[in-house]
Chain A
Amino acid sequence: MSAEMLQSSNLPLRHRLGRVWLVIFQVALVVGIIALCALLFNIFDGSFGYVAVQDKVNPATLAVDGVPLEELDKDTLVEILRSHVSAGLMARYEFEKPFAEREAGEVYDLILERVVAPEFVAQWSLYQSLTNADEIRQTVAEQFPEARVEFRSWLNWHFLRAPQSSYPEIAGVRTAVFGSLWTISIAVLFAFPVGVAAAVYLQEYAPDNLINRIIQTNITNLAGVPSIIYGILGLAIFVRALGQFTSGIAFGVSDPATANGRTILSAGLTLGMLVLPLIIINAQEAIKAVPASLRQASYGLGATRWETVWHHVLPNAMAGIMTGTILAISRAIGETAPLIVIGASTFIQVDPEGPFSKFTTLPIQIYQWTARPQSVFRNLAGGASLVLLGLLLSMNATAIILRNRYRRSQ
C-alpha cells in the first residue's frame, strides 16, 4: 500500500470509489450471464417459429368420391401414388419393400412426401412469430396466397427419427446422432482404460525420476494442444498410414466407399487421443484423493501393490474417475474441427453399420447447416443444437447421479 494513499484520508472519496467499482464488477458479471442468456435465446429463437407451407398438390383434390385422403384404403392410395410419380420411383419403392407388405399408413406417408410435397416458402424466428404474428399472416397472404401459416417446432419427433436430407422439410438428425454415439463409444473404449492405467502408473507406481516427470509435463501440455492439431495427426496416422486397418481391409471388410480410411474408427481413435490427457489428469486427481491410510492398511494385510490398487484404490477413486471421464466425453461429443479434418462425410442417408462405416456427427451437421446460405437451414441448425445440448445435459446429469450413488454406497 502506497504511503501517500494512507496519508490522504479523504475517506468519503475512497468509499465512493469503492462503490463505483463494485457496480463495475457487478456489471461485468451480469454481462457474462447476459451473454449466456443470449446464446440460449438465440438457439430457441431459431428452433421454433412460424413457417409458410405450400403444398405442390392440395390434399383435398386427391380425395376420391368425397372420401378424404387419410380415410382411403391402401389400394386406392397406391393408385394415387402411381398416377403422380414416375414409374422408376415406383419400381424403387417396390424394390425397397413390396407394396403388398406395406401398411396403408406407410403409403399415405409416401403420398405426403412425394405427391403433396409440402414446401417451406418462408420462415420466421420465434421472436418475430410472437411479436409480429398478424404481420406475418398478412405477408404470407399477399406473397404466397396458396401457402398456409403454421407454427413449427423444428425440434420434433420426425426430426429426431429422419435421416439427413437435402430437403429441409423432411431432414432429420438420426444418422448424425448415431454417428456421434458410435464415435464417442470408440473414443471411450480406447481412452478410458489407457487413461486410467496411465493415471494409476503416475500416481501409484512412478518413482520421481526424469522420464516420469517428462510424462507428467507432457500430459499437461497435451491438454492445451488445439483440437484441430489432433485432427491433423489423426489424418496423417489413422486415415493415411493405418488406412488398411481403419477402413477394415485388413479384417476382410472392404467397402469401396470407406476404403480411404475416413471411417468411424479413425474418428473415434482421434477423439480418444484428444480426451486422453483430460481423462488422465482427472483420474490422477481422483486417485490422489484416496487416503494413504487405505493403502497402508492393505499393505499391512500382505496385499501386493496391484492388489491394493485393484481392490482398494480404484474402487474408492471410481466416482471421481467416472465424473472426470464423463466431463471429458462431453467435451469430445461437441468437437467438430478434428472430425472435419479427418474427413467426416457430410451427406449420409443410411445409419452407420459398424466401425468401418462412413459417418457424420451432430456437430458437423450443425456446422453444415449453419454454413448453408439458405436461411431455412439455420432453423434446422437451431433444432440440431438443441438436440446436442440435450445430449450434453443428460450426460452431465448422469455424471452427477453416478457420483452421488458412489458416494452414498461408500
Chain B
Amino acid sequence: MAQTPIPAKPSTPSLKRKPRLAELVIQAVLFLCGLLSIFVTVGIIYELGKESMLFFGRTQWELTNKPIVADISSSDVQFEVGTSGASAQPGDVLRLGDELMLLDTVNGTTYGVERGYRDSVPSAHSAGTVLQRGVDPSIAEFLTGTSWAPHAGQFGVLPLLNATLMVSGTAILVALPLGLASAIYLSEYASQKARNTLKPILEVLAGVPTVVYGYFALTFMTPLLRTLFGQDTVQIYNTASAGIVIGILILPLVSTISEDALNAVPRSLREAAYGLGATKLETAVRVVLPAAFSGIAAAVIIAISRAIGETMVVALAAGAGPAFTFNPFEAAETMTGHIVRISGGDLSYDSLDYNSIFAIGLMLFVMTLALNIFSQYIVRRFREVYE
C-alpha cells in the first residue's frame, strides 16, 4: 500500500484503530453461522451415539413359548415348566408378566429362580403363562451375528451389511470400468467440441433424483435381468438390479472427477512420452493415468461411499426383509433399506425399532465418514505437484 503522508491537522481525530461495534457484531454472527456446521456434526454424533447406547443397553424379551404348568405364588422359588418351546440356561433373566426372575438352576423341567429380580415386584402367576427370556444386544453379537430379527432377540447386523456390500460391490463393478474408460476417452481422445457435448450429458445422469433410479431399477432393470437369466433364477426383488442401477447412478461421479484429474496432468508429460516414441494408448495408460492416480482413487472412494449410503434404489428394488445371502439374484435388505422400511410406519420413540435405526445409522455414518476421510488422505498423500 502506498504510504502518502497525511498532513496532520489539529482537528483530525486520532488515527488509532477504533473498535467498531457493528463490525464486531457482524463478524460474530458470521462466525456463528460457520460454527453451525460443527453443531450439525456434533448433533449427528451425539444423537446416533446416545440412541445406539440405548439400543445396546436395552434388554429385549424373547418369547420362549414355554409355559409354566401350575399356578405359582409370589414367594415360590421353584416351579415346573412345560416341555414345549426353547429352554433357558442358568443365568438367564426370565420374565413372567411384569416380574423379572434370575434363573439359578435348571433340573429337567424344574426351574429354580431368584424372585423379584432387578427391583421388580414378585407376584402370583397362573398356569399357562408363557416365559419370556431376556436378551441383551451386545456389540460383539451386533457385529458378528448372521441374523437380524431384533424382536426375536437376534441382533446380528451382518445380513444388512452383507447386502450393502453386495450392492455397492456390484455398483463399483459397473461404474469403475465404464467411468474410467469414459474419462480416458473424454480427456485423451475426444475433441474439445465432443467433450463439451458429452460431459453435460453424463452430468444430466447425476442430476436425476435417486427415486427415479429406483423406479428405473424396478420397472426396467429387474424385468431385463429376469428375461436374461430366467424368471426362476432372478427374484422380483434382488441386489443385482439395485447394484447395477446404483452403478449407473455413480458413473457420472467417477467419470467427471477422474476426467478432471486426467485433465490436470500437464501437457509436457504427454509430449515427453510421445517424444520417447510411445503411442497414444501407452501415453494415456502408462503416463497420464499414474500421474492422475490420487484424483482417480479419490473419485472411486467417494463413489463407493455414495453407493453405500444410497437409499431409494435399494428400498424399491433390493427387497424388504434381511437375508444373509451371497446370491445377487435373491432379495436382501441393505442397511439403508432397512432404516427406510422401519421408519416408514409411525415409529414410536424409545422403542426397539427406533433405537435400532440409530445403531445401524451410526455404523453407516462411521463407514462413509471413514471412506471420505481416506479419500482426502489419498489426495494429500499421493498428489503429484507439477510446476
Complex CA gap A341/B354 in Å reads 11
Complex CA gap A217/B208 in Å reads 28
Complex CA gap A367/B218 in Å reads 11
Complex CA gap A228/B343 in Å reads 11
B208 and A39 contacting across the interface, CB-CB below 8 Å: yes
Residues of B within 8 A of A195 (CB): 33
Contact of A304 among B20, B208, B214 (CB under 8 A): B20
Residues of B within 8 A of A363 (CB): 209, 211, 312
B30 and A205 contacting across the interface, CB-CB below 8 Å: yes
A221 and B372 contacting across the interface, CB-CB below 8 Å: yes
A229 and B364 contacting across the interface, CB-CB below 8 Å: yes
Determine whether B41 belongs to the interface, using a CB cutoff of 8 Å to chain A. Answer: yes
Give the distance to chain A from B241, nearest Cβ to Cβ, in Å.
13
Interface residues of A in 351-366 (CB under 8 A from B): 363, 366
Determine whether A215 belongs to the interface, using a CB cutoff of 8 Å to chain B. Answer: yes
Given the known interface contacts A29-B185, A385-B212, the answer about A221 and B369 at a Cβ–Cβ threshold of 8 Å is: yes
B279 and A228 contacting across the interface, CB-CB below 8 Å: no
- Chain A 204-236 against B: per-residue CB contact (8 Å), 1 yes, 0 no? 011000001011011111101111110111011
A194 and B220 contacting across the interface, CB-CB below 8 Å: no
Complex CA gap A27/B181 in Å reads 9
A35 and B214 contacting across the interface, CB-CB below 8 Å: no
Given the known interface contacts A232-B339, A334-B209, A367-B316, the answer about A6 and B37 at a Cβ–Cβ threshold of 8 Å is: no
A232 and B210 contacting across the interface, CB-CB below 8 Å: no
Contact of A341 among B33, B36, B340 (CB under 8 A): B340
- Chain A 166-199 against B: per-residue CB contact (8 Å), 1 yes, 0 no? 0000000000000000000000000001110110
B34 and A198 contacting across the interface, CB-CB below 8 Å: yes
Residues of A within 8 A of B214 (CB): 367, 370
Residues of A within 8 A of B286 (CB): 1
Contact of A33 among B23, B201, B364 (CB under 8 A): B201
Complex CA gap A46/B252 in Å reads 25
On chain A, the number of residues with a Cβ less than 8 Å from chain B's Cβ atoms is: 88
- Chain B at the A interface: SS class: helix
A304 and B211 contacting across the interface, CB-CB below 8 Å: no
B215 and A370 contacting across the interface, CB-CB below 8 Å: yes
Determine whether A93 belongs to the interface, using a CB cutoff of 8 Å to chain B. Answer: no
Find the B residue at minimum CB distance from A378.
B219
Given the known interface contacts A197-B30, A221-B369, the answer about A280 and B47 at a Cβ–Cβ threshold of 8 Å is: no
Given the known interface contacts A36-B201, A366-B212, the answer about A228 and B277 at a Cβ–Cβ threshold of 8 Å is: no
Find the B residue at minimum CB distance from A395.
B207
Residues of B within 8 A of A111 (CB): none
B343 and A340 contacting across the interface, CB-CB below 8 Å: yes
Interface residues of B in 180-209 (CB under 8 A from A): 180-182, 184-186, 189, 198, 201-202, 204-205, 207-209
Give the distance to chain A from B367, nearest Cβ to Cβ, in Å.
9
Find the A residue at minimum CB distance from B41.
A218
Given the known interface contacts A17-B281, A205-B31, A330-B207, the answer about A222 and B309 at a Cβ–Cβ threshold of 8 Å is: no
Interface residues of B in 108-145 (CB under 8 A from A): none
Contact of A39 among B41, B216, B306 (CB under 8 A): B216
Determine whether B177 belongs to the interface, using a CB cutoff of 8 Å to chain A. Answer: yes
Residues of A within 8 A of B373 (CB): 221
A388 and B212 contacting across the interface, CB-CB below 8 Å: yes
- Chain A at the B interface: SS class: helix
On chain B, the number of residues with a Cβ less than 8 Å from chain A's Cβ atoms is: 94
A228 and B216 contacting across the interface, CB-CB below 8 Å: no
Residues of A within 8 A of B248 (CB): 32, 35, 39
A336 and B311 contacting across the interface, CB-CB below 8 Å: yes
Determine whether A259 belongs to the interface, using a CB cutoff of 8 Å to chain B. Answer: no
Find the A residue at minimum CB distance from B212.
A385
B372 and A224 contacting across the interface, CB-CB below 8 Å: yes
Determine whether A72 belongs to the interface, using a CB cutoff of 8 Å to chain B. Answer: no
- Chain A 3-28 against B: per-residue CB contact (8 Å), 1 yes, 0 no? 00110010000110110011011111
Give the distance to chain A from B71, nearest Cβ to Cβ, in Å.
42
Given the known interface contacts A5-B282, A201-B34, A367-B312, the answer about A237 and B208 at a Cβ–Cβ threshold of 8 Å is: no
B182 and A215 contacting across the interface, CB-CB below 8 Å: no
Give the distance to chain A from B378, nearest Cβ to Cβ, in Å.
14
Residues of B within 8 A of A227 (CB): 309, 311
Determine whether B171 belongs to the interface, using a CB cutoff of 8 Å to chain A. Answer: no
Which stretch (B76-84, B90-98, B152-160, B344-352) binds chain A? Answer: B344-352
Give the distance to chain B from A331, nearest Cβ to Cβ, in Å.
8
Interface residues of B in 14-65 (CB under 8 A from A): 20, 22-23, 26-27, 29-31, 33-38, 40-41, 43-44, 47-48, 51
Given the known interface contacts A42-B220, A228-B311, the answer about A205 and B33 at a Cβ–Cβ threshold of 8 Å is: no
B23 and A233 contacting across the interface, CB-CB below 8 Å: no
Give the distance to chain B from A91, nearest Cβ to Cβ, in Å.
32
B281 and A226 contacting across the interface, CB-CB below 8 Å: no
Determine whether B161 belongs to the interface, using a CB cutoff of 8 Å to chain A. Answer: no
Interface residues of A in 323-382 (CB under 8 A from B): 330, 333-337, 340-341, 343, 363, 366-367, 370-371, 378, 381-382
Contact of A367 among B43, B180, B211 (CB under 8 A): B211
Residues of A within 8 A of B205 (CB): 32, 35-36, 39
Complex CA gap A367/B211 in Å reads 6
Top 4 closest A-B pairs, CB basis?
A226-B309, A334-B209, A28-B181, A25-B185
Query: Given A201-B34, A220-B372, A226-B305, 5 other A-B contacts at CB below 8 A?
Result: A201-B33, A218-B38, A233-B40, A367-B315, A392-B208
Could you list 15 A-B pairs, sorted by A, with CB under 8 Å? Answer: A28-B177, A32-B252, A36-B201, A201-B30, A226-B364, A227-B309, A228-B336, A228-B361, A229-B365, A236-B47, A334-B209, A337-B210, A337-B311, A341-B339, A363-B211
